[in-house]
Amino acid sequence: MTTYGDEPFTFTEFAYFAEMARAATSAALARGYALVILPATSRHDVWSNVALDGTVVVDPSDHDPVVSDLVRQGIPVVSDGRPAGSLPVTAWVDNDHEAAVLGILDHLAAAGARRIGLLTGTTTDTYTRLSTTAYLHWCERVGQDPVYEEYPAHDPCAGAVAADRLLARPDRPDAVYGLFDPNGTDLLAAARRYGLRVPDDLLLVCCSESTVYATTEPPITTLSLKPRRIGTAVVQLLIDAIEGLDTGRPVEQVIPTELIIRTSSERRPPRTTVSPPRGPAAT
């Protein structure tokens, strides 16, 4: 996971990476391979001491030195996420992040949002870049000024601070989409601090595979990137490349996303005042 480099980041704490790794492990074992998980460090001794047939890189960043070095050694590299720039990977699997973000923004607008904000990251991976660009293009198309805050995604404390900054702005949004796993709970906590009711005053959506969002109060709408399908696909492509197989599988695969709609992004209709029943007319 090169986006995080040498940062103190434990990937299994995030449901996306854990599910993706589980599916990739199962797919590798089914074809007679073992999956080794190594830290995303640029230290060459870490990678050179392990005999590798091929590598899966998750969320590749621009000009990643590990990927470039592996390719120079003739080791096939398949990425989970479209490689930025001219990063020389063998194949990639990704979602259509632009379509996913546009679908979320249209969903929030249909629920009554008039100023939609974004919590995004400072990293250069394509997931963050494409999602943020899609938001900016949508704002331009509908005539809304962009309202967003960005932070280093590997720092969970920074996410909570950015959520607070977003809801403290004078142009505070009435709906927010958060790109990363903790954003849903961060935004929910920030909304409570500012006395905002979800979904009445603030609509929320975040990208996460965590089941915790089905039980928050209120339950939070999430975007699923289908990490199990991605984990299986990247391993199949990698083993095909290792074994020199021409299976006819496309080397660039796009996996559809799923928006799981819950209470946080469905604004309740206005209450209708019902008059009490009238008594019998006087005669």
Based on the fold, state whether residues 25 and 139 are members of the same structural domain.
Answer: no
pTM recorded for the entire structure: 0.88
The pLDDT, as a whole number, for residue 277 is 47
Average pLDDT value over all residues in the chain: 88
Q: Is residue 62 part of a domain?
A: yes
Q: Is residue 281 part of a domain?
A: no
The pLDDT, as a whole number, for residue 283 is 44
The pLDDT, as a whole number, for residue 9 is 54
Instruction: List, as one string, the DSSP characters of 207-269.
Output: E---GGGGSSSS--EEEE--HHHHHHHHHHHHHHHHTT------SEEEE--EEE--GGG-PPP
The pLDDT, as a whole number, for residue 10 is 62
Q: Is residue 280 part of a domain?
A: no
Q: Which residue range is the domain that position 187 belongs to?
A: 97-224+260-265
Based on the fold, state whether residues 113 and 220 are members of the same structural domain.
Answer: yes
Give every residue of the chain whose pLDDT is below 70, as ranges: 2-12, 40-45, 85, 268-283
Domain count within the chain: 2
CATH number for the domain harbouring residue 71: 3.40.50.2300
Based on the fold, state whether residues 56 and 140 are members of the same structural domain.
Answer: no
Strand partners, 56: 78
Q: Is residue 271 part of a domain?
A: no
The pLDDT, as a whole number, for residue 273 is 46
Q: Across the chain, which distance is largest between two alpha carbons, in Å? A: 100
The pLDDT, as a whole number, for residue 41 is 66
CA distances from 12 to 16, 37, 203, 251 (A): 8, 11, 28, 27
